[in-house]
């Protein structure tokens, strides 16, 4: 009887669907159609991963800190697109990479600000996204970061002169600025990073391996590049 119960429990665990949490971080993951549809290049990749592996999942778009916390605390949950950092490395199991990005500092297009080293930026208040890895990185290094819940608010603060610089991804920054109607220019590249799906430690290694194998196959057959180009 104990063996039967154990077997049923295993089947139940294996059949349990994943929850994928994400945030509004275009063009990689964002909502459209009034929030009815979650799209973006990373969303397309994750949907293709699910299709190829047969793993069932639902996707929920949430504020970043909540999306991250749910993946950290809730078994069968992954959050994407998540920067893989040393501090986060042992907190999750990783699927990807889904994105190769760079952290950059932006100023208004007509600004005379010149940044030759990261330390040069310490004289300015920097607009940052609350809970984001870029914001955490700068705060830990002693920068003054004015945090908001959405990057669109940072662009508007930059345009209004309330912050001197804005930290964003080199792909996301221009996208958000263009869609907000604000002209910006990149004045410094901080570093290159990769972003993944960060999965709760309770998710089986077998499922993580299947998803990583699917990402590799998607890249090898050209599907990955097709998804990226669709949002350029």
Would you call 181 helix, strand, or coil by DSSP? Answer: coil
- pTM for the model stands at 0.86
Would you call 129 helix, strand, or coil by DSSP? Answer: strand
pLDDT recorded at residue 2? 40
| pLDDT tens for each residue of 111-124 | 999 999 999 999 99
| Domains of the chain, earliest start first | 2-100+195-229 (3.40.190.10), 101-192 (3.40.190.10)
Provide the greatest CA pair distance for the chain: 76
Q: Mean pLDDT across the stretch 65-79? A: 97
Question: CA–CA separation, 128 vs 181, rounded Å?
Answer: 18
Assess whether pLDDT exceeds 70 at residue 7: no
pLDDT recorded at residue 15? 52
With 0-12 / 13-18 / 19 or more C-beta atoms within 10 angstroms meaning exposed / middle / buried, residue 164 is buried
Question: CA–CA separation, 164 vs 6, rounded Å?
Answer: 60
With 0-12 / 13-18 / 19 or more C-beta atoms within 10 angstroms meaning exposed / middle / buried, residue 130 is middle
| pLDDT tens for each residue of 176-230 | 999 999 999 999 999 999 999 999 999 999 999 999 999 999 999 999 999 999 9
Question: CA–CA separation, 8 vs 14, rounded Å?
Answer: 10
| pLDDT tens for each residue of 124-171 | 999 999 999 999 999 999 999 999 998 999 999 999 999 999 999 999
């Amino acid at each position: 009887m104990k063996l039967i119960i154990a077997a049923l429990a295993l089947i139940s665990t294996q059949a349990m669907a994943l929850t994928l949490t994400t945030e509004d971080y275009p063009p990689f993951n964002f909502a459209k159609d009034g929030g009815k549809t979650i799209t973006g290049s990373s969303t397309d990749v994750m949907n293709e991963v699910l299709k190829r592996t047969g793993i069932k999942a639902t996707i929920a778009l949430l504020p970043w800190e909540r999306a991250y916390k749910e993946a950290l605390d809730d078994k069968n949950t992954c959050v994407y697109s998540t920067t893989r950092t040393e501090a986060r490395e042992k907190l999750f199991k990783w699927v990807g990479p889904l994105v190769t990005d760079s952290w950059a500092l932006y100023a208004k297009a007509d600004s005379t600000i010149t940044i030759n080293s990261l330390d040069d930026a310490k004289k300015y208040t920097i607009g940052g996204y609350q809970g984001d890895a870029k914001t955490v990185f700068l705060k830990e290094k002693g920068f003054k970061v004015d945090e908001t819940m959405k990057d669109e608010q940072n662009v508007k603060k930059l345009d209004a002169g309330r912050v001197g610089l804005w930290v964003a991804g080199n792909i996301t920054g221009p996208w958000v600025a263009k869609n907000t109607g604000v002209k910006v220019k990149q004045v410094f590249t901080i570093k290159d990073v990769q972003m993944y799906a960060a999965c709760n430690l309770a998710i089986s290694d077998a499922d993580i391996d299947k998803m990583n194998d699917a990402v590799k196959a998607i890249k090898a057959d050209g599907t990955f590049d097709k998804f990226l180009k669709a949002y350029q």
